[in-house]
């Protein structure tokens, strides 16, 4: 199979490079006008968008390059379980589509028709897990055990958790957007090029709509938690109707640890911000716990502009940037910051200094011109504190006090002498 790691060409290519149609895969489906195999490039598909589709070059470029920053385990997941776009296709200075990897042939199986004849092999959707056992047998497909269903649910949750860790909103979780291999339970999520960072325009689907989001409102990762939780719950229970899923989950509570998490994810009354994360669901289904990197608050448009030059109405979205370990106890909070040290008491005998930040008065030099002031500190350099005045030695202070007292006595005696002389003359 091919995947993101196998691409060896540029991340932005011209339509001329891929405008060689081989087998047509699809001509219907969402934003895609056509999806076809690229002749001469085995394992790669060209997904061409419909005319007038709003495309952000910046979003696609950021999405295409994201796997470069993932760790080895996440890159493997991207490579084996997603149709992650590998290049943006342009024509006449506009984006017209993306190149995506083709799913492995392990997801392609033949189905038996009601008359007993076999149809041409086709990809198997996760939808097959929601068929009754007798119907699967009639189609010539193996009947999955609870262990098989759990493995498939865990793999779906692992892909969803990858999106969630990097603040990607997929929003299109449903039966038809994930392939399933009945032989080993592996999954393959398609239409990844439709992911947005932080929030994305509303997208609806019958029996998949988030009860906490009004129709037409932007969607965040909290809606992904609801929709993916519902998809996994349906895969585990084999129940298609949303009204039957909760009761079916309760019936397997004693043998499935993920039931409590799923019930909180899909309960209509659970506030969106209180839903368990997809990472919690993955761990409950048996995935290894991992430390999630802090998710930065993204600045993204609520609705995608037709070009990058027309971006308006941006808003901050996304979870708080705190690292957490799913499936482990929370780390202790950091110690409170130390209070600032008290300033040392000033000696009353020292000369008065100007307040911090206020320059000292200019001193007159011998020529009568003011001396040059010190240059202000450069950015990033600490401001130089004014040097405190040197205190007067104690013996000198005591001598000065004695001289002051003697002077006062001398002045008093002089005045008394003048008074006596004046009285003597008067007599």
342 is a domain residue: no
Whether residue 153 is found in the same domain as residue 92: no
Whether residue 62 is found in the same domain as residue 115: no
Q: Are 311 and 301 in contact (CB under 8 A)?
A: yes
- The residue out of 298, 321, 344 marking a domain boundary is 321
Q: Are 114 and 194 in contact (CB under 8 A)?
A: no
Tokens 């007067």, residue?
392
Tokens 């592996």, residue?
186
- The residue out of 284, 300, 321 marking a domain boundary is 321
Whether residue 89 is found in the same domain as residue 121: no
Q: What is the CATH number of the domain that holds 263?
A: 1.10.510.10
394 is a domain residue: no
Ranges of the chain with pLDDT below 50: 293-377, 379-384, 386, 388, 392
Whether residue 186 is found in the same domain as residue 199: yes
pLDDT confidence of residue 18: 96
Whether residue 24 is found in the same domain as residue 54: yes
Domain that holds residue 109: 104-321
Whether residue 41 is found in the same domain as residue 177: no
pLDDT confidence of residue 28: 78
Q: Could you tell me how far CA 255 lies from the centroid of its own chain?
A: 34
Query: Which residues on neighbouring strands pair with residue 87, listed in sequence order?
Result: 99
pLDDT confidence of residue 410: 74
395 is a domain residue: no
Whether residue 127 is found in the same domain as residue 260: yes
172 is a domain residue: yes
Whether residue 87 is found in the same domain as residue 222: no
User: Residue 152 belongs to what H/E stretch?
Assistant: helix 146-165
Q: Are 170 and 160 in contact (CB under 8 A)?
A: yes
pLDDT confidence of residue 298: 41
143 is a domain residue: yes
Whether residue 92 is found in the same domain as residue 113: no
Whether residue 49 is found in the same domain as residue 160: no
Whether residue 114 is found in the same domain as residue 242: yes
Give which of 224, 227, 206, 204 is closest to 214, Cα–Cα: 204
Q: Are 295 and 318 in contact (CB under 8 A)?
A: yes
328 is a domain residue: no
pLDDT confidence of residue 30: 78
374 is a domain residue: no
pLDDT confidence of residue 165: 97
Q: What is the CATH number of the domain that holds 61?
A: 3.30.200.20
pLDDT confidence of residue 115: 87
Domain count, the chain: 2
């Amino acid at each position: 199979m091919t995947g993101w790691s196998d691409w060896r060409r540029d991340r932005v290519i011209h339509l001329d490079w891929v405008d060689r149609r081989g087998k047509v895969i699809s001509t219907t489906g969402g934003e895609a006008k056509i999806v076809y195999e690229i002749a001469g490039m085995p394992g790669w598909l060209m997904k061409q968008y419909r005319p007038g589709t709003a495309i952000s070059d910046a979003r696609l470029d950021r999405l295409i390059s994201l796997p470069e920053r993932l760790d080895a385990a996440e890159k493997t997941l991207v490579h084996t379980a997603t149709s992650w776009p590998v290049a943006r296709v342009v024509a006449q200075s506009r984006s017209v589509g993306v190149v995506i990897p083709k799913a492995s042939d392990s997801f392609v199986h033949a189905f038996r028709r009601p008359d007993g004849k076999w149809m041409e092999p086709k990809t198997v959707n996760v939808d097959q897990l929601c068929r009754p056992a007798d119907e699967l047998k009639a189609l010539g497909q193996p009947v999955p055990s609870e262990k098989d269903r759990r493995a498939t649910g865990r793999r779906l949750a692992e892909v969803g958790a990858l999106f969630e860790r990097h603040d990607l909103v997929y929003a299109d979780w449903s039966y038809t957007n994930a392939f399933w291999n009945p032989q080993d339970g592996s999954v393959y999520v398609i239409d990844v090029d439709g992911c947005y960072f932080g929030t994305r325009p509303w997208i609806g689907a019958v029996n998949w709509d988030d009860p906490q989001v009004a129709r037409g409102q932007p969607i965040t990762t909290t809606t992904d938690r609801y929709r993916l939780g519902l998809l996994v719950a349906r895969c585990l229970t084999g129940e298609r109707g949303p009204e039957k899923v909760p009761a079916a989950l309760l019936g397997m509570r004693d043998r499935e640890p993920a039931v409590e998490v799923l019930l909180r994810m899909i309960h209509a009354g659970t506030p969106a911000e209180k839903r368990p994360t997809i990472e919690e669901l993955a761990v409950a289904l048996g995935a290894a716990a991992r430390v999630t990197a802090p998710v930065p608050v993204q600045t993204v448009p609520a609705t995608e502009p037709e070009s990058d030059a027309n971006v308006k109405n941006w808003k901050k979205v996304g979870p708080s940037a705190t690292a957490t370990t799913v499936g482990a106890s929370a780390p202790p909070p950091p110690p409170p910051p130390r209070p600032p040290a008290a300033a040392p008491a000033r000696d009353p005998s020292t000369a008065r200094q100007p307040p911090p930040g206020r320059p000292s008065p200019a001193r007159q030099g011998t020529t009568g011109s003011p001396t040059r002031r010190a240059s202000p500190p450069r950015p990033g350099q600490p401001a130089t504190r004014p040097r405190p005045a040197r205190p007067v030695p104690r013996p000198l202070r005591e001598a000065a006090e004695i001289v002051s007292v003697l002077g006062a006595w001398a002045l008093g005696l002089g005045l008394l002498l003048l008074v006596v002389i004046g009285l003597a003359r008067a007599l």
